[in-house]
Structure 1
Amino acid sequence: MDSPHRAFAPSRRTLLFGAGATALTAASASALPASAGPASAAAAGSAAAAGSAAVSASAAIPSPDDLPLTGGPEFPVGLFWPPHPYASTAERFTEIKDAGFDFVISGNYAGDGNIFQYQLDLARTAGLQMLISDDIQIRNMSRWFSISDNTADFLSVTPDEARALYTRARDAYGPFSSLAGFNLYDEPGAGWFGTLAKAVAISRELAPQLLPYINLFPSDDAAYYRSFVDVVKPSLISFDRYPLLSEGREDANYFHNWAIVRDAALHGDIPSWVFIQTLAYNGHREPTAAELLWQVNISLAYGAKGIQYFTYWTPEAARGEGFGPALITVDGSRTPRYAAARKINTTWLHQVGRELKPLVSETVVHANETPLPNGAVAFTPTNLVTAVTGDPVVIGTFHSRDAASTDRWLLVANRSHTTRSRAVITPNPQTVATIATFQPPTQTYTPRPATPTPVDLPPGAATLLKLTTK
């Protein structure tokens, strides 16, 4: 199948992840066993079919509940493009933790094993976890080469060679309790899913306690995400799409992309994660604090079980792409978005995330919005909520995994990141006993009778309601 993202230019994440790849390619090749054969990149994806049974048959698929970040009660909040090696200090990693982040995806010129170990030690001390993007070992088995039993296949390693590569990385970084897992590939095409399935299976075979992480392209092709879930059998589905365009515009297909990722996550019964935009770059504007919050809350309404920030540290100007300041500038100064992210993460996202993480996304609807964005579904009355009136809101409905529970949770998000939204949620008094509002500071709910309930949401804000049924 042709890659569904061919219409997209290389994304910002692809360009940043590739930053050191050329310099490391020779070293990567020299680290391979001698039996790895030379040749055509065109065959790399198709080579994935060979030897798949030998890899996948022995690899049990762990529950997301048993893995770092996806498991446990805490809602994972991460970042990409951390401090570069010279700025990687105990103070800087504490600064990350203080802003309410839980994990770091390595990057920003950290490509050396000694640097990774140094950063893992800093992360351990700060109480952070890391996903390591190891170009020398991990990406030789998941990105630069395919995995195939046929040594004549071009640019391939055998399953045993892939296991040897993974083992080296596991043994080098595994002693650090801050190691959450490995970043296998950023934004793969569908032709690479076969090899990634084998790489994920090897990870589960050799280190079932580590997360095999893959992030996907933005795409409006539902088959791309569904195929990823069906073929790779991932532990989660992560994607990036940055909706805040220049001149105040929004990406017209942002909700559509979220809807199909949500569908794929539900299909695989796995968590969905997303990246949010923190900076300006070509064709995209610098987010306000309300726009950061809006991206977070729209994602929560669509069922996100993890939020990642792109980027934390600002990529330098020499990279091109017109990168503006992120949370931290190139020279290490905090921008207003650092304070905004810290407030979001520490006073709202972690608290509401703990409530939403164990729940299952049931529906997502847009109320009082005409015309509807592409991919959005309009609100219609249900046996629990008979009306939503007032300003436009996006409502995600969630249920417990306990089939005996008929209670529901509503994440009501302001559709606008520029204006206040005042709406009224009317529960059905025949089926709903109480409607309660979540209070983040105390992690408690304030109940009221099942009567029309007003919500008053500043730009980008949201509230969580619990409907206790009769």
Structure 2
Amino acid sequence: MARELLLLSFAALATAGLAAGASGREVPPNIRAIVEKTRSFGLRGYPISFWNYTNLAEHGKYMDEAEVEEWADAGFTVPQSPNFDASDPKQKAHVLKLLDWAWARGMKLILCDSRTYAKAGPGGEGGLVPPDYQEGVRAAVADFGHHPGLFGFHVGDEPGKDFKYAFAECYRIQKKVAPRLHPFANHLPWWPGAETVVGNASWAEYLDEFVRLSNADLLSYDCSAQMNPGQGGWHMYFANLREYRAASLRNGIPFWNTILSVGHFRYRCPTFDELRWQFNTSLCCGANGILWFFYYMRQPHSNYRLSPVDEHWDRTQTYYDIRRIQKSFHRHYGDLFARLVSTRVTFYPMPFGGGQSFTPNGIISRVRPDAENHPILIGEFTDDQGRPYVMIVNNSMTDSVFVRVTFPGKDVKVYSWDWSGREREGGAYCTDELRRTDDGLTAGQWLAPGQEALFRIESSSAEQEPIPRE
């Protein structure tokens, strides 16, 4: 049922997109490359995943078809598998069943196969990896590479300067052995001084070097600073979105952001509004995929608490909140965000993380919240036809706002998406007023904390607004 609902929504959006016509704006090659790369993933929706630290030896009894159905029902499109030992025939057979169950529900899996995790050692290609690493990758591909439900294999997480070259080489080997698969490799977040940890002069240099050496299909990272007390971590959160977005555009590949679903250390347990805020600010800042850290508690450890599935294997409120956010997202937008690329990100009134304050352009000319200095996040996008889109997010985790946004031009039209995922002319699902004046068309809407409004814009002034290359 979950797969059928997603497919109906995606089909409706595809039909609407074809009927709407194309823009005359030139789409830069790097933006086209990001759209094409995301399309090559073969997913039936926007990439949404979670970090999975279970293992089949210990937790296999929980990893049944009903569990996979639950992943699909909660709106995940590319989950991580449990860790497993493919030398155990029972575990290998179990993984093949997981792939069957996932594919039947419109999902692909990132397989956590011990043979494909990045390893450093003498010998091998360039002396960076063990001589038998490529053999292990070939064996993993022989076991599972034929399955249409396989997205790719997990490479590893957060390499430092002593491991980054072996890490990139292992990714490159996976791409050489199985070019049609998409290895998953995760990177550290940036923080002041993080460059010394990875041994590069700048974070941009580090990311570009990894892409060049690995032939990477995507960039992924994690950041939890936004869930520190107060707003102290917001600058780091938005600085990372800015850095990874810029690297994505420079290299013409998508980037995925990992956001927080479990309280630990000083990070608080996120509420529904905070979960939605993380999801929508990631989208608005151009993330081409989202992961949650993490999904299964397994057993109590440190001060980790209230993950979506707790230590008793019960579903917490966090699970139901994420499910609600993701099901609503798919129902409204289908695969739309898998076909969009960020062209500009601005903040009103003041930026976070070294970002840009809002300035008018030919697409959006005014942002006016009812409360002075209430924070608003504005994301602009294009599809591969050059058509402009605008996303408005209430950039507060706590307070609602009524915000008016003006789209300039006497001929301007706006389009949005209804509860069935159909594009239609008019305001967003949350728009309360739509007024045309000499200045253009103004849409006013109440937005709860972290809530979004999305519009597609048609106007002569928008047609004249060039698409930035970076």
Q: TM-score, normalised by structure 2?
A: 0.77
Partner secondary structure for residue 296 of structure 2 = coil
Partner of 2:348: 367
1:254 and 2:237 aligned: yes
Stretch deviating more after TM superposition (194-203 or 413-422): 194-203
Q: Is the counterpart of residue 96 in structure 1 residue 75 in structure 2?
A: no
Measure the CA separation in 2 of the matches of 1:113 and 1:331.
29
1:235 maps to which of 200, 203, 217? 217
1:131 equivalent in structure 2: 110
Residue identity matched to 1:88 = M
Alignment counterpart, residue 292 of structure 1, candidates 275, 292, 309: 275
How many pairs are equivalent?
A: 392
Matched, 1:276 2:252: no
Q: Does 1:118 align with 2:94?
A: yes
Task: Decide whether the 8 Å contact of 1:365 with 1:395 is kept in 2.
Answer: yes
Q: Secondary structure at the match of 1:417?
A: coil
CA deviation after TM superposition for structure 1 residue 116, in Å: 5.0
Structure 2: state its 5+ residue gaps: 1-32, 192-202, 428-435, 461-470
How far is 1:351 from its partner? 4.1
| Maintained 8 Å contact 2:34/2:254 | no
Q: What SS does the aligned partner of 1:103 have? A: coil
Higher relative contact order (CA closer than 8 Å, sequence separation 6+): 2
Q: How does 1:252-401 map to 2 (within 5 A)?
A: 252-317=235-300, 319-320=301-302, 322-349=303-330, 351-352=332-333, 354-369=335-350, 372-390=351-369, 391-401=374-384
Q: Which amino acid aligns with 1:454?
A: G
Match of 2:328, SS? helix
Judged with a 3 Å threshold, the aligned counterparts in structure 2 of structure 1 residues 353 and 233 are, in CA distance, closer, same or farther, namely farther
For residues 108 and 310 of structure 2, the distance between their equivalents in structure 1, rounded to whole angstroms, comes to 23
1:85 to 39, 60, 76: 60
Residue 416 (1) aligns with residue 396 (2): yes
Contact 2:332 2:417 in 1 (8 A): no
Amino acid aligned to 1:187: E
2:166 maps to which residue? Answer: 195
Deviations 1:202-236 (A, max 9, x none): 32332122111101111143333233223323100
Which AA in structure 1 matches 2:443?
T
Deviations 1:17-44, CA, capped at 9 Å, x for gaps: xxxxxxxxxxxxxxxxxxxxxxxxxxxx
Matched residue SS, 1:427: strand
Give the aligned residue type for 1:413. V
Tell me the SS of whatever aligns to 2:297. coil
Q: CA 1:364/1:374 → structure 2, altered by over 3 Å: closer, same or farther?
A: same
Per the TM alignment, residue 77 of structure 1 is displaced from its structure 2 partner at its CA by 1.2
Quote the residue 2:423 is aligned against: 444
CA-to-partner distance for each residue in 1:397-421, whole Å, 9 max, x for gaps? Answer: 012223xx4x310111110121112
Q: Matched residues, percent identical? A: 23
Q: Aligned match of 1:468 in 453, 458, 463? A: 458
| TM-score, L = length of structure 1 | 0.77
Q: Answer whether contact 1:229 1:264 (CA < 8 A) is retained.
A: no
- Partners of 1:315 and 1:323 within 8 A in 2: no
**Contact 1:416/1:460, CA 8 A, preserved across alignment:** yes
For residue 77 of structure 2, what is the amino acid of its counterpart? D
Secondary structure class of the residue paired with 1:366: strand
For the aligned residue pairs, the C-alpha RMSD in angstroms reads: 2.6
Alignment deviations for residues 86-144 of structure 1 (CA, whole Å, 9 cap, x no partner): 3212222222221111222134x644554354134134224332212222x212xx224
Alignment match, 2:190: 219
SS state at 1:329 partner: coil
For residues 85 and 343 of structure 2, the distance between their equivalents in structure 1, rounded to whole angstroms, comes to: 41
What secondary structure is seen at the aligned counterpart in 1 of 2:308?
A: coil
The 1:63–1:302 alpha-carbon spacing in structure 2 relative to 1, beyond 3 Å, is closer
Distance 1:173 1:273, change over 3 A: same
Amino acid at match of 1:259: R
CA distance in 1, matches of 2:239, 2:318: 27
Q: Which runs of 5+ in 1 are unaligned?
A: 1-61
- Rate the CA distance shift 1:67–1:419 in 2: closer, same or farther, 3 A: closer
Residue deviations 1:144-177 (CA, integer Å, cap 9, x gap) = 4366456xx5x7434xx43322111111223443
